[in-house]
Structure 1
Amino acid sequence: MWLREILVIIVVALVISSLLRAFIVQVFWIPSPSMRNTLVEDDRIAVSRVDALRSNIHRGDVVVFDDTLGWLGTTEVSSPSVVRRLGEFTGFVPAGGEQTLVKRVIGVGGDRVTCVSATGKVSVNGVEIDEPYVANGQVPCGERTFDVTVPEGYLWVMGDNRSNSADSRYHMGSGQSPYVPVSSVVGTVQAVIWPVSRWSTDIGHQEVFASVPDPS
Structure 2
Amino acid sequence: MWVIAAALCVVFLAVFGVRHFVAETYHVPSGSMAPTLESGEYILVDRTTRGTATRGSVVVFDGEGYFGGSSRYWVKRVIGVGGDRVRCCTDDGQLEVNGHPLDEPYLPASLSRASAIDFDVAVPEGRMFLLGDSRNDSSDSRNHLGDPGGGMVPVERTRGHVTRVVWPLTVARDISH
What TM bracket, shorter-length normalisation? over 0.9
**Partner Cα distance (1:145, 1:132) in 2:** 20
Aligned in 2, Cα 1:70/1:58: closer, same or farther, shift over 3 Å?
closer
Q: CA RMSD in A?
A: 1.5
Q: Pick from 66, 75, 85: which aligns with 1:112?
A: 85
Residue 70 (structure 1) shift: 4.3
Residue matched to 2:114 = 141
Say whether 1:204 aligns with 2:176.
yes
Q: For 1:43-54, what aligned pairs fall within 5 Å after superposition?
A: 43-52=41-50
Say whether 1:180 aligns with 2:153.
yes
Q: Secondary structure at the match of 2:141?
A: coil
Say whether 1:62 aligns with 2:58.
yes
Residue 69 (structure 1) shift: 2.4
**Partner Cα distance (2:10, 2:35) in 1:** 39
Residue matched to 1:41 = 39
**Partner Cα distance (2:23, 2:119) in 1:** 35
CA contact (8 A) 1:71 1:176 kept: no
Residue 51 (structure 1) shift: 1.2
CA contact (8 A) 2:52 2:160 kept: no
CA contact (8 A) 1:106 1:158 kept: yes
**Partner Cα distance (1:134, 1:47) in 2:** 21
Q: Show structure 1 runs of 5+ residues with no match.
A: 76-97, 206-216
Say whether 1:24 aligns with 2:22.
yes
Say whether 1:153 aligns with 2:126.
yes
How many residues align? The count is 177
CA contact (8 A) 1:115 1:123 kept: yes
Q: Pick from 43, 66, 71: which aligns with 2:67?
A: 71
TM-score, normalised on structure 2? 0.94
Residue 204 (structure 1) shift: 3.1
- In terms of Rg, which structure is larger? 1
CA contact (8 A) 2:65 2:148 kept: no
CA contact (8 A) 2:59 2:76 kept: yes
